[in-house]
């Protein structure tokens, strides 16, 4: 039914055909147009979203009213405001489509029942959370231990297609520097 998600899950855990059916019955297919919001600050996050197609950004607005991107959501990855989900409170972040997107939503009100019925899916989400946490730790380490130029070079080398895919002001926000600095770096052909 959702071969892309099935393939992703199989990289980490094995599900029976019946377990996949139980999972897929709980998912909702969502389409977003470019610039459309999936979540806005102040609203309750509906659940976890698996990206089938497209690119999203998750960000907050700081005290200076600047957008600070904390995560991108690309194909074969999950995105959500986990604080909103875990603590049952309004989201503090926005999630917006950078491109036209197709997503699968696992509604939060279905998650625990799914985990009880299919423990391997709970294990899968545990692994996904570990991977997200490691990525977050690495990003924080890069911000504190590398210069802006080193961070840009490393990220560009690791993700060359992605660097071309998103607007440079968004990439600058994610990497922790200004769009003006990004322009200077790109002009130097770093």
Give the number of domains in the chain: 1
Sheet containing 78-79, strands listed edge to edge, beginning at the edge strand earlier in sequence? 28-32, 101-107, 47-53, 78-79
Domain presence at residue 149: no
Rg (CA), the chain: 18
Domain presence at residue 136: no
Domain presence at residue 172: no
Q: What is the CATH number of the domain that holds 73?
A: 2.60.120.10
Tell me the whole-structure pTM to 2 decimals: 0.89
Domain presence at residue 19: yes
Domain presence at residue 47: yes
On the 0-12 / 13-18 / 19+ scale of CB atoms within 10 A, 39 is buried
Domain presence at residue 12: yes
Where in the sequence is the domain holding 83, given as residue range(s)? 3-114
Q: How far apart are alpha carbons 96 and 133 in whole angstroms?
A: 21
Q: How far apart are alpha carbons 59 and 81 in whole angstroms?
A: 10
Per-residue b/e over 49-80, b at no fewer than 16 CB within 10 Å?
A: bbbbebbbbbbeeeeeeeeebebbbbeebbbb
| Each residue's pLDDT expressed in tens, for the chain with a length of 190 residues | 799 999 999 999 999 999 999 999 999 999 999 999 999 999 999 999 999 999 999 999 988 888 899 999 999 999 999 999 999 999 999 999 999 999 999 999 999 999 999 999 999 999 999 999 998 898 888 888 888 888 888 888 888 888 888 998 899 888 888 888 888 877 775 4
Domain presence at residue 142: no
């Amino acid at each position: 039914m959702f071969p892309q998600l099935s393939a992703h899950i199989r990289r980490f855990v094995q599900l029976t055909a019946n377990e996949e059916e139980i999972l897929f019955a709980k998912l909702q297919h969502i389409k977003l147009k470019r610039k459309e919001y999936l979540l806005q600050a102040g609203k309750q996050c509906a659940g976890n979203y698996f990206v089938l197609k497209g690119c999203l950004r998750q960000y907050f607005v700081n005290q200076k009213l600047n957008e600070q991107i904390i995560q991108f959501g690309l194909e074969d990855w999950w995105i959500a405001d986990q604080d909103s989900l875990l603590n049952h409170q309004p989201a503090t972040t926005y999630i917006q489509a950078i491109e036209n997107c197709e997503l699968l939503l696992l509604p939060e009100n279905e998650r625990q029942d799914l985990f009880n019925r299919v423990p391997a899916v709970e294990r899968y989400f545990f692994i996904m959370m570990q991977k997200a946490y490691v990525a977050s730790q690495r990003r924080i380490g890069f911000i504190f231990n590398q210069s802006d130029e080193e961070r840009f070079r490393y990220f560009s080398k690791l993700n060359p297609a992605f660097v071309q895919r998103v607007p440079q002001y968004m990439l600058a926000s994610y990497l922790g520097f200004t769009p003006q600095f990004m322009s200077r770096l790109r002009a130097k052909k770093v």
